[in-house]
Structure 1
Amino acid sequence: MDETLVFPIAIIIFVLIIIAKGVRIVPQSDLYVVERLGKFKKILHGGFHVIIPIVDQVRSKLTSREQLVDIAKQSVITKDNVNISIDGIVFCKVDDAKEATYNVVNFKNAIANLAMTTLRAEIGGMDLDDTLSNRESLNAKLQTELGSAAANWGIKVTRVEISDISVPAEIERAMNMQMEAEREKRAIETKARADKEAVIRSAEAFKQEEVLKAEAIERMADAKRYEQEQIAAGQKQAMVLINESMAQNEKAAEFLLAKDRVAAFKALAESESNDKMILPYDVTQMIGSTSVLGDAFFKGVSNGNTNNNAS
């Protein structure tokens, strides 16, 4: 190669390298922190960018997507002195690339360690039962504590999840026994409440039955009294009418007596007795008259005999 061409080719290669160093194509989800002569200059977002080669340099490349930070499983002692193992996950994203670059060396490592210390502090102030039952409350407390600290690093903590809480085997057996005892207790209480409710309902039913019986007796008494009052009123009215009829007609009493005789003869005729003899009303009158005349005749004869003997 001709020595006269070496220099121009070198210059062309140098220019191409400079151009390549000055062109930056940033992916959509990435953030590039650019420094100029060692001092922060700007942040490059997704797209095509041109920087000054050698003068400007990309200090760090971050992503704006949500990231996961694992909380390593660790042993924690609760307020009631139970040693448990717990781990979790922190969801976060870069909110300010400049602060995430210059305010902390490694924000993921910082968040993981902060989450571990915060978790120990929170679990240390809670009983085992509260730790197991109030997981959502624990997640909210961790998110608040981590969020306030991570905000200084340009990181936004979006969510914290406690993924696993493990208790020792003997504690687990004791918890299972306690759970069975609680179930039996609730079953006994439920049965007792059911029996009590049944007794109350039976008593209420008996009470209602007795009340209804008393009301029925009272209504029957009222009905009977009303019936007797109406009968008495009817008899009273009948007596008034009979008295008025007898005052107006002398034969009214005879009519009533004849009506009663007819009813008596009818009842006697319908009787199944064999020791009876039924005579018309006229015959009975005649028999009565004959008996009267016979008595008078016999009295007269006896008087005559007495006078003859005396003379």
Structure 2
Amino acid sequence: MEENLVFALAIIIFALVIIIKGVRIVPQSDLYLVERLGKFNRVLHGGFHLIIPVVDSIRAVLTSREQLVDIEKQSVITKDNVNISIDGIVFCKVDDAKEATYNVVNFKNAIANLAMTTLRSEIGGMDLDDTLSNRETLNAKLQNELGSAAANWGIKVTRVEISDISVPAEIERAMNMQMEAEREKRAIETKARADKEAVIRRAEGFKQEEILKAEAIERMADAKRYEQEQIAAGQKEAMRLINESMNQNENAAEFLLAKDRVAAFKALAESSSTDKMILPYEVAQMVGSTSVLGDAFFKGVSNESKNNV
């Protein structure tokens, strides 16, 4: 009886062990590669899975998360024979767990070594200036080359970054001097362009000023001419009206002369000068007549004296 109990207990324990061994709970980010009797069977993704104990075994556990592969610093010679030190980083992730397990021994080491050789090859065909200024182009070339090779290993290269490029101290000093000279050259060119622009602007301003002056003089001349034309037209019209009035009325001329005399007498009366004498028109006529008679008399006497002589 006790032997049967022990046997039953052993059977139950063995069944529990088998069940426990056959149950696999895979985390979301992991990939379990299962072999059955030493041959690839399937890949277990995140979740609950059952396998056959003893028959099935977990060959490898991989992660589906993005991984980082460091490219160690190495010396590289550029196309113009400058020895530089360079390192970088490769970002990749497992795209096919089967190929990543069976097609390569260690895909991280393989990618690192492939990146080193590809980096030497690419930089060997570039000048130093291109290497320093075209990192984006270099990164794209490396990603393309590594991606093509890593695809056979079930790995997807997502990004490649050149983290540091170091040049010898003497080359760095020469580059600094060159950059300083280039900055001074750009400053001189900028100043020259600014001076040229200033001269052009001053010339344009002077030209515009002279144009405006000429336009102002022309407009003033036009205005003066228009004023004179209007005055002349007014005087012409006034003279025409005076002629018409004189033709219609013989006293019009005397009226105009009297009007002018009144205006003259008024201006003379308002003057502050003390050396003035105002006489009526009739007296002035009489004085004028007397003066004419006197001149005639004296001329007659003078002629008679000449004849007697």
Length-normalised TM-score, structure 2: 0.87
Write the deviation string for residues 247-287 of structure 1: whole angstroms up to 9, x where unpaired.
11111111222222223333433444444322111222333
1:114-263 alignment to 2 at 5 Å? Answer: 114-263=114-263
Distance 2:289 2:240 in 1: 35
Structure 2: segments with no counterpart, 5+ residues: 305-309
Shift of 1:291: 5.6
SS of 2:32's partner is strand
Q: Percent identity?
A: 88
The answer for unaligned runs of 5 or more in structure 1 is 307-311
Matched residues in 2 for 1:46 and 1:280: separation? 139
In structure 1, give the amino acid aligned to 2:259: K
How many Å apart are 1:6 and its aligned residue? 8.3
Tell me which amino acid in the other structure corresponds to 1:60.
A
Provide Cα deviations, 1:219-243, integer angstroms capped at 9, x if missing partner: 1111111111111111111111111
The answer to whether the aligner puts 1:64 opposite 2:64 as a matched pair is yes
SS of the aligned residue for 1:98 comes to helix
Deviation at 1:25, TM superposition (A): 3.0
Q: Is the alpha carbon distance of 1:245 and 1:8 closer, same or farther for their aligned partners in structure 2, counting shifts above 3 Å?
A: closer
Q: Could you tell me how far apart the structure 1 residues matched to 2:58 and 2:238 are?
A: 130
Counterpart mapping for 1:263-302 below 5 A: 263-288=263-288
Opposite residue 143 of structure 2, the aligned amino acid is Q
Deviations 1:55-104 (A, max 9, x none): 22222111111111111111111122111111111111111111111111
Mean CA deviation greater in 87-96 or 285-294: 285-294
Q: Residues 76-115 of structure 1: matches in 2 within 5 Å?
A: 76-115=76-115
Query: Alignment partner of 1:201: what SS?
Result: helix
Between stretches 260-269 and 195-204, larger displacement belongs to 260-269
| RMSD of Structure 2 on Structure 1 (CA) | 2.7
Q: Which amino acid aligns with 2:159?
A: R
Range with greater deviation from structure 2 (20-29 or 139-148): 20-29
Cα deviation digits, residues 155-209 of structure 1 (max 9, x gap) = 1111111111111111111111111112111111111111111111111110111
Aligned mates of 1:66, 1:291 — CA distance in 2: 136
Residue 41 of structure 1 is matched in structure 2 by 41
Matches of 2:81 and 2:34, distance apart in 1? 51
Q: Check 1:20–1:295 CA distance in 2 against 1; reply closer, same or farther (3 A cut).
A: closer
Give the TM-score, by structure 1 length. 0.86
Judging changes above 3 Å, is the alpha-carbon distance between structure 1 residues 274 and 42 closer, same or farther for their aligned structure 2 residues? same
